[in-house]
Amino acid sequence: MAGLTPVPGLDGRLALITGGRRGLGLEMARALGAAGARLLINGRDAGPLGEVCASLRATGLDARPAAFDVAGPGAAEAVERLADDHGPIDILINNVGQRDRRGVLQMDQADFERLVRVDLTSAYTMSRVVARRLVDLGRPGSIINVSSVVGGLLGARADVAYTVAKAGLDGLTRTLAAELGPHRIRVNSIAPGPFATETNAPIVADPKITEFVTSRTALGRWGRPEEIGGIVAFLAGDGASYLTGQTIAVDGGLSTTY
């Protein structure tokens, strides 16, 4: 249509999506692949991961498994090997996340530190390895952290470690954006709200929680998992070339509705 500028694609760029085997991570991978990116799908279990990649390839996407634990001691080395085998990683999606719905009076120190290591420290590890190689090559890139409206924008009772980790991801986003901007590496985060993923199926089925979601969100409904992909593909590409250091809520208006 005249007057409209097409959204730039991601043809040939390599994207690593942590926790990409299911849920929002898988939908992000689909969107990046549809825009032309080559996909490295991360997860801990090689068998199921291989099946997911095979199903993506059956739809015409270029998807390969990257089986390793992002919070494990060999994570940095695993990313280095991926870059050696497949080329520099142009797009990093730090999506891995766990949740432990306990508050400060219930959660002990060890469990708190474990969840923060998975949800926050792993993103630092991944970002550092990817960024260093891009800088050494003089190559631009995009890092996208997946935080949450819980912690990133809002507080929550009985969810202390997850809330702290997600708030930390948004702080990491701003700091990395400032530090890596001169190297043409953009860093942003998205803050999903209530999505009807398979992980959330038990609470989606709870009428009281669904009533809360429909009353608190401006759009009056749960998000569909596939609705996360567009913003990720946009942030990864050249259409967002002057956008960095931002946290974008993808929450149906939950964080802006009084």
pLDDT digits (tens, 9 = 90+) for 77-109: 999 999 999 999 999 999 999 989 899 999 999
Domains and CATH numbers, the chain: 14-250 (3.40.50.720)
Q: Copy the structure tokens of residue 165.
A: 């980790």
CB atoms within 10 A of CB 169: 24
Question: Residue 118 and residue 107: Cα distance in Å, rounded?
Answer: 16
For residue 113, pLDDT over 50 is answered with yes
Say which residue the tokens 């043809």 belong to: 11
Determine contact, residues 56/31, Cβ cutoff 8 Å.
no
Count of helix runs (H) and strand runs (E) in the chain: 10, 7
Could you confirm whether 258 is annotated as catalytic? no
Over residues 11-49, the pLDDT tens digits come to: 999 999 999 999 999 999 999 999 999 999 999 999 999
124, 162, 242, 258: the catalytic one is 162
Q: 5-9, 12-16, 20-24, 154-158 — which is least confidently predicted?
A: 5-9
Determine contact, residues 41/49, Cβ cutoff 8 Å.
yes
Among 145, 151, 162, 155, residue whose Cα is nearest residue 247: 145
